[in-house]
Structure 1
Amino acid sequence: MLDMDKIFLISDIPGYTPQISRLMSMMNYARYTTFQSVQGLTTEQLDFTIDSTSNSIGSLLLHFAAVEYAYQLYTFEHRDLNEDEMKKWGAALDLGELGREQIKGNKLEYYIHILNEIRDKTYDLFKLKTDEWLYEEHEFWNQKTSNYYFMWFHVLEDEINHRGQIRWLRKRLPIDIRSGKD
């Protein structure tokens, strides 16, 4: 759904309500800049960690997809991930040691495919909702005054935050893998 002719516009998107369109416009731009920040990276570069406690670029990309998937479940199905879903997404959600152990050896196309697949599902689900839905209030993070708009803003904000980490990591790739090829 990334319409490159309109990537710099926050505006209506056909088939969606006005506020959902604007949220999607911002999500589209964030995803566009994420893709720009990882363009051309090799598997070795995606797996690189700066030290024993850092996350790799690949794990951060999978984290974006995992967070979005978790928010799909929470906001559209009103549930958390089940045991099977946690087996699939847990390392990407929590990152840390588990992420370093489990998320590696994948080409960039693998991450982009998953990110696109999860985002397409989000867009399908957004088509079913109205602007009023965005403002429905529910408990979230033990707060009684949160709404779906904030929850989806957090999905966007989380990606922007971690994309900064990706850019920081990319600038620190060792010379020997900086221009590698898969």
Structure 2
Amino acid sequence: MLNMENILLITDIPGYTPQISRLVSMMNYARFTTLDAVKNLTQDQLDFLLDSQSNSIGALLLHFAAVEYAYQVLTFEKRKLNDEEISIWRPALDLGKEGQERIKGNDLEYYLKKLDEVRNRTLEYFKSVNDDWLNVEEDFWWNNQANHYFMWFHVFEDEINHRGQIRMIRKRLNV
């Protein structure tokens, strides 16, 4: 559950080191605005597709959870998703046709619960590391180096990017 107190402050949060607190603050605000963008949507609205190439709002919400989960595994557990995790998360990670076919028929509470479950796990992991951990560099996309700070910035940057899609779909739904 998101702590709404001081949602507009990027500041220290008890239980986290200073830079991790700031990262969590930014993630919290991104999530706050996402939750506002999907407030009161029905199952039909969550499943709506603009066209054969688009993603539903529900699929995008599950995508946020899937990306965050994948980064937990990558950065904290130092591994790739296993076969069982891939079967659970692939439709939401890849989206596309498989996402259109498999991610539907759920109400808003279903997606909010998934987002909360994954975020709560992230917050517990963040309590186990310090600011130095953010600077750890690893191989990343296309043989580039990235540090944990960038990787976790990317988690909420991806959410912000796709939230724009959600807002556009919502406007098309006239809600």
Partner SS state of residue 5, structure 1: coil
Q: Matches of residues 84-163 of structure 1 in structure 2 within 5 Å?
A: 84-163=84-163
Counterpart of 2:40 in structure 1 is: 40
Partner SS state of residue 11, structure 1: coil
Which amino acid is the alignment partner of residue 49 of structure 1?
Answer: L
Counterpart of 2:16 in structure 1 is: 16
Which amino acid is the alignment partner of residue 51 of structure 1?
Answer: D
Structure 2: unaligned runs, 5 residues or longer: none
| 1:87-112 C-alpha deviation (Å, 9 max, x unpaired) | 10000000000000000000000000
Q: Partners in 2 of 1:126 and 1:82 — Cα distance?
A: 22
The percentage of counterpart residues that share the same residue type is 64
Structure 1: unaligned runs, 5 residues or longer: none
Q: Partners in 2 of 1:87 and 1:64 — Cα distance?
A: 16
Q: Partners in 1 of 2:3 and 2:88 — Cα distance?
A: 30
Which amino acid is the alignment partner of residue 47 of structure 1?
Answer: D
Q: Matches of residues 64-83 of structure 1 in structure 2 within 5 Å?
A: 64-83=64-83
Which amino acid is the alignment partner of residue 152 of structure 2?
Answer: W
Q: Partners in 2 of 1:161 and 1:17 — Cα distance?
A: 27
Partner SS state of residue 3, structure 1: coil
Q: Partners in 2 of 1:115 and 1:49 — Cα distance?
A: 21
Which amino acid is the alignment partner of residue 7 of structure 1?
Answer: I
Q: Partners in 1 of 2:133 and 2:142 — Cα distance?
A: 20
State the shift of 1:80 in Å. 1.1
Q: Partners in 1 of 2:66 and 2:2 — Cα distance?
A: 20
Counterpart of 2:56 in structure 1 is: 56
| 1:91-134 C-alpha deviation (Å, 9 max, x unpaired) | 00000000000000000000000000000000000000000000
Say yes or no: does 1:5 pair with 2:31.
no
- Which segment is superposed worse, 2-11 or 53-62? 2-11
Is the 1:137–1:144 Cα contact (8 Å) retained in structure 2? no
Q: TM-score, normalised by structure 2?
A: 0.98
State the shift of 1:143 in Å. 3.7
Partner SS state of residue 146, structure 1: strand
Q: Partners in 1 of 2:90 and 2:53 — Cα distance?
A: 17
Which amino acid is the alignment partner of residue 150 of structure 2?
Answer: F
Q: Partners in 2 of 1:55 and 1:3 — Cα distance?
A: 29
Q: Hey, which bits of structure 1, 4+ residues long, moved more than 2 A?
A: 142-145
Which amino acid is the alignment partner of residue 119 of structure 1?
Answer: R
Q: Partners in 2 of 1:49 and 1:3 — Cα distance?
A: 32
Q: Partners in 1 of 2:5 and 2:53 — Cα distance?
A: 40
